[in-house]
Amino acid sequence: MQAQNNNVSQALPDNNDELYERFSIVIDKGQEPLRIDKFLMQRLEGATRNKLQQSINLGMVAVNGKEVKPNYKVKPGDSVIIFSDMSPEETDIVPEKMNLDVVYEDADIIIINKPAGMVVHPGSGNYSGTLLNGISWYLQQQQPGITENVLPRFGLVHRIDKNTSGLLVLAKTDKAMRHLAKQFFDHTINRKYIALVWGDIADDTGTVVAHVGRHQRFRKLFEAYPDGEHGKEAITHYTVLERFGYVTLVECVLETGRTHQIRVHMKHIGHPLFNDDFYGGDKIVKGTVYSKYKQFVDNCFDICKRQALHAKTLGFVHPTTGNDLFLEAPLPEDIGKVIEKWRKYSSTTGSSL
């Protein structure tokens, strides 16, 4: 029996903070009108019409940011996104050799500087090319025969979004994994992010306190609940680093680590992340829309094709030595270039005044 949209909350409980993994398609210009379930059957290997219809009825398929019915007919230019609540434990991890940016490694842990665009673990539409595919191959070269039974999820203790760049730590032993997991649970991990957000934030420093949980209707999105009626406690501290008038560069320190926390909290206070297509930052939010300014913003979007968010620093207690370990990752090229463009723009227009 097919589930209906009003059963989504039962299928995906509020206490499940796992990320949906997504597979996106932009409909070609020459596409004839075709039911979306039939269209996806042609595009997705191994997909059945029954499973696709169930996914669509559960709100797991969006067209142009909105849920649709199975009889929706796709048209040229439509942006289709397929979501899944599949966890890494439910997906086989196939080892793949790949170039990983290893910034620190010893017998217990490995720290990776993840590029934007890399999914952390396999899921719907992303069965290969993920960080865990690469890590599993990497560890098997050091420890032949190591499997998920020996080291669950190959040491993954936390995640960052696909389109967020920056530091991520994995354990190489079960003991190290338990030690790190406890630090994340106790919120003692030191994590700092650099973000470019829309608008001129009023205060130089501030704290956002609002529960973060799934949106009550659009379950692939998350929402801030300042009264704590849904979701889990979430606290983000921010400091303004530089002002560019229409956008602001900030440093965010996580006291908790909820899915999409910074993105949701910044939207909640009226400053969505620059080019965040989930939370309204992929359009002009601040500034008068005229041709030259719009062209400038569009050029910035072309340079940084994702939310301008980077996990810059990571600090924790080493699971074996007990010493404090603190690492930093430089800003990636795309965010750095966009910051420089806004810096020059604000200096020539006076928009930072």
CATH annotation of 21-84: 3.10.290.10
CB–CB of 250/197 below 8 Å?
Answer: yes
> Residue 10: its pLDDT value, please?
28
Question: For residue 23, what pLDDT band results from cuts at 50, 70 and 90?
Answer: low
Distance CA(272)–CA(77), nearest Å, equals 25
Q: So what's the pLDDT on residue 89?
A: 45
Its CATH architecture, for the domain 88-185, is 2-Layer Sandwich (3.30)
Residues with Cβ within 8 Å of residue 338, at least 6 apart in sequence? 196, 274, 300, 303, 304, 308
Which of the given ranges, 49-63, 115-129, 260-274, 276-290, has the highest pLDDT on average?
260-274
Average pLDDT of the residues of the chain: 85
Q: Are 274 and 299 in contact (CB under 8 A)?
A: no
- In the prediction, which pLDDT does 15 show? 33
Boundaries of every domain in the chain: 21-84, 88-185, 190-349
Q: What is the share, in percent, of the chain residues with pLDDT greater than 70?
A: 86
Tell me if domain 88-185 and domain 190-349 are identical in fold: yes
pLDDT of 73 reads 92
What token pair was written down for 38? 């039939």
What is the arithmetic mean of pLDDT over 344-348? 88
Amino acid (1-letter code) at residue 108: D
pTM: 0.74
Q: Which residues are catalytic?
A: 161
Higher pLDDT, 47 or 215: 215
pLDDT score recorded for residue 125: 59
Quote the pLDDT of residue 322.
95
Given its phi and psi angles, is residue 252 left (phi above 0), alpha (psi -120 to 50 degrees) or beta? Answer: beta
86 pLDDT tier (thresholds 50, 70, 90): very low
- For 190-349, give the CATH class: alpha beta
Q: Do residues 136 and 99 lie in contact, with contact meaning Cβ atoms separated by under 8 Å?
A: no
pLDDT over threshold 70, residue 124 = no
Contact indicator for 180, 157 with CB cutoff of 8 Å: yes
In the chain, the N- to C-terminal Cα span, in Å, equals: 60
Distances (CA, A) of 269 to 25, 106, 238: 31, 41, 12
Of 288, 287, 278, the residue nearest 309 (C-alpha): 278
What is residue 92's three-state secondary structure? coil
